[in-house]
């Protein structure tokens, strides 16, 4: 039997019972649409996390206090702190692979201006922090190295803080009070939006780390040291170089565990992506159950169709159709129903993902390969669940089929 004839017969059979065909493919439609939506949510979350981590800075390396493991026991970063400005100075002097380095002194405080007040995070940093984080100012200027050496009371505001403290604008040159200490606003940072932890990255004030230690935190330890390498390829070597410098600074022996933890952006991105990938696979797997249910529906209807068309099958065999022709005919019908349902499901899934992102504010993005896989999987469902009914039809005895009422 020619392919064109097979397609014509299959199309006629499908259109003959439009309502039954629609109800048969409904399970596949729902299954494919659900898979597309779930993959779009998961992939969108991964893409969003990658963008947020990328916004942290360029080829960034983070040194945090506390060992990730000590004495065979996982301690977690920041369990104890031995990072000091001397460590920062030593890295700055001796590291050859880093392009920039900055200490970070963390604190929080209520900030007061002539137009309002705002509680926010204050980070004491060096001049190179701007380069590491790739964070230019949109108004004014950044503080300078003489400001850091002289522990001057100058500040650069994030856009959220600038808006909260100066609703009318013109924050540059104004005075703000942080813990009873007056600071002059030198600039306003360009907006970065939400960070990888889901917090507002612009809700921050940057001041010289020397000023933060002397005037705000009162602590001699630094909360973190961040640096950057010249290129992504230099990051692993720079990490090892910094690790050696810090072990020497902390006088650690060959058998001693590190009392600090070093991470880079790739490690953070890999951990975050791994979690979202697991969630995406889980959601897509749950949604795929609808596809299996749809496949069972196709098998059920095709078995009914074989029973209804037994006499027709007998006539075809009597005039020369082979069993393989009958098998192919019913497989084509099954695959056509399944693929049509898959295409409709893809369209509904893409539209559903857009609507979900619009109404929830979630980031949704559908990779092209997901669409191809969904349509291909729907065709596979048609072959898998249509094969048994098709084989049953092909195995009919022509004489008994002709006698069937």
Which residues of the chain carry a pLDDT beneath 50? 69-78
Write the pLDDT tens digit of every residue in 251-271.
Answer: 888 888 888 999 887 666 665
Instruction: State the Cα angle at 199 between 170 and 261, rounded to 5°.
Output: 115
Packed helices 323-360 and 368-394: angle between N→C axes, nearest 10 degrees: 150
SS3 362: coil
pLDDT of residue 399: 65
pLDDT of residue 76: 47
The pLDDT of residue 78: 47
Distance CA 119, CA 130 (A): 23
What pTM value is reported for the model? 0.61
- What pLDDT score was predicted for residue 392? 78
The residues that bridge with 261 in the sheet, in sequence order, are 64
What residues contact residue 24 under an 8 Å CB cut-off, 6+ apart? 297, 298, 301, 337, 341
Rounded distance between C-alpha atoms, residue 234 and residue 228, angstroms: 9
Spatial contact of 24 and 298, defined as CB atoms under 8 Å apart: yes
Rounded to whole angstroms, the Cα distance separating 393 from 303 reads: 9
Contact 224, 64 (CB under 8 A): yes
Q: What is the pLDDT of residue 125?
A: 96
Which 8-state DSSP code applies to residue 55? T
The DSSP symbol for 73 reads B
Q: Please give the backbone phi and psi of residue 258, each rounded to the nearest 5 degrees, phi first.
A: -60, 140
68 touches 76 (CB < 8 A)? yes
Phi first, then psi, for residue 20 (nearest 5°) are: -65, -40
Axis crossing angle, helix 368-394 with helix 265-308, rounded to the nearest 10: 30
Output the CA–CA distances (angstroms, integers) from residue 48 to 44, 135, 240, 351, 385, in the order listed. 6, 19, 30, 20, 38
**pLDDT the model gives residue 253:** 87
Q: What is the pLDDT of residue 405?
A: 57
């Amino acid at each position: 039997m020619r392919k064109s004839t097979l397609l014509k017969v299959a199309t006629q059979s499908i259109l003959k019972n439009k309502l039954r065909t629609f109800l048969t493919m409904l399970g596949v439609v729902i299954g494919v649409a659900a898979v597309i939506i779930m993959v779009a949510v998961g992939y969108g979350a991964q893409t969003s996390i990658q963008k947020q981590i990328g916004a942290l800075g360029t080829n960034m390396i983070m040194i945090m206090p506390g060992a990730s493991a000590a004495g065979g026991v996982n301690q977690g970063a920041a369990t104890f702190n031995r990072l000091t400005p001397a460590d920062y100075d030593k890295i700055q002097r001796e590291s050859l692979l880093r392009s920039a380095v900055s200490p970070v002194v963390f604190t929080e405080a209520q900030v007061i201006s002539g137009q309002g007040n705002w509680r926010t995070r204050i980070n004491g940093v060096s001049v190179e922090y701007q380069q590491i984080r790739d964070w230019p100012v949109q108004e004014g200027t950044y503080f300078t190295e003489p400001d850091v050496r002289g522990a001057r009371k100058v500040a650069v505001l994030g856009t959220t803080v600038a808006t909260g403290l100066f609703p009318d604008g013109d924050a540059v040159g104004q005075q703000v009070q942080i813990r009873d200490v007056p600071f002059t606003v030198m600039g306003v940072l360009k907006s970065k939006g939400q960070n990888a932890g889901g917090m507002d990255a612009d809700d921050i004030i940057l001041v010289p780390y020397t000023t933060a230690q002397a005037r705000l935190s009162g602590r001699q330890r630094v909360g973190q040291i961040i640096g950057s390498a010249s290129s992504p390829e230099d990051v692993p070597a720079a990490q090892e170089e910094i690790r050696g410098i810090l072990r020497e600074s902390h006088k650690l022996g060959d058998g001693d565990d590190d009392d600090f933890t070093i991470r880079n952006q790739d490690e953070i991105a890999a951990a975050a992506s791994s979690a979202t990938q697991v969630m995406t696979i889980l959601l897509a797997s749950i949604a795929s159950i609808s596809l299996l249910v749809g496949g069972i529906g196709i098998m059920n209807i095709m078995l009914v169709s074989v029973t209804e068309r037994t006499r027709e099958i007998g006539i075809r065999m009597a005039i020369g159709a082979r069993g393989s022709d009958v098998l192919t005919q019913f497989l084509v019908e099954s695959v056509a129903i399944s693929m049509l349902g898959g295409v409709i499901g893809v369209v509904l899934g893409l539209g559903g993902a857009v609507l979900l992102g619009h109404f929830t504010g979630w980031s949704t993005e559908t990779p092209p390969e997901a669409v191809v896989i969904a349509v291909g999987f729907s065709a596979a469902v048609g072959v898998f669940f249509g094969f048994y009914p098709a084989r049953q039809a092909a195995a009919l005895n022509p004489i008994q089929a002709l006698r069937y009422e």
